[in-house]
Copies of this chain bind each other. A is one copy, B any other.
Amino acid sequence: MFVSITNDRSLHPSTLGDLGLTSTSNAVINLSEFTYKKGTEVFGENEPAEYVYQVKTGAIRSYKLLADGRRQIGAFHLVGDVFGFENAGVHRFTAEAVVETTARLFKRQSFEGMATTDALLLCDLIRLTTRNLKHAENHLLLLGRKTAVEKVAAFLVEMGERNGTDNIALPMSRRDIADYLGLRLETVARALTQLKKAGALSFTHRNHREIILLNREALARLDQEDFVT
């Protein structure tokens, strides 16, 4: 749903624990696994939503397009993330593999069937949707009001947090990052060199999907944090 569910380790283990759900319902079935080659489409905007997906390995980008090809990536889905759940029967964005990616598939019908009976599961789905909404809301602030350097700094902080370390290997290209942040790829490159010069990060390899070592404090200084009362 255009936004990722980060792997929430606080959820109870259960039948659906791997999906990040607390419900003990046995209605989720039809598990299967599929591998998508780099760049291939998992599903397209306005296609019927048949499955719900969970990333096992790799990374997914989900995006919307304007008629002239301008692209806005709404979220990257990393290992453990659940994506593709739609309340309506139709996907509102396109999902593609950033690199070779393996995903588990859950039949959507399974959810629908139990929807009216299993309140616990419904609560889980609200929580899932709410998490997506929260991510989207924060991204609105970033897209509308942050500068290029602040956007890139915020992106790196997000990736670091989702990875749980300050050592991150970005699976996506500069173009993908740019389309996530509402920038051009050259601007992303320039911001990264600026951040490096400012000591906010360093490259431990100098090959092209490099491993980046983050300096959290310096990044936090450059990323305008949200104002909290």
The listed residue (B72, B134, B146) touching A92 by CB distance below 8 A is B134
A115 contacts chain B at the CB level, 8 A cutoff: yes
Contact B137 A137 (CB under 8 A): no
User: What bracket does the count of chain A residues touching chain B fall in?
Assistant: 35 or more
A226 contacts chain B at the CB level, 8 A cutoff: yes
A2 contacts chain B at the CB level, 8 A cutoff: yes
Cβ-closest chain B residue relative to A146 = B66
CA A117 to CA B118, docked complex, whole Å = 9
A residues apposed to B, CB below 8 Å: 1-3, 44-46, 64-72, 74, 87-88, 92-93, 115-120, 122-123, 125-127, 129-130, 132-134, 136-141, 143-146, 179, 181-182, 224-229
Interface CB pairs A-B, < 8 A, 11: A3-B137, A44-B229, A46-B229, A66-B224, A70-B146, A74-B137, A88-B130, A126-B126, A136-B140, A143-B182, A144-B181
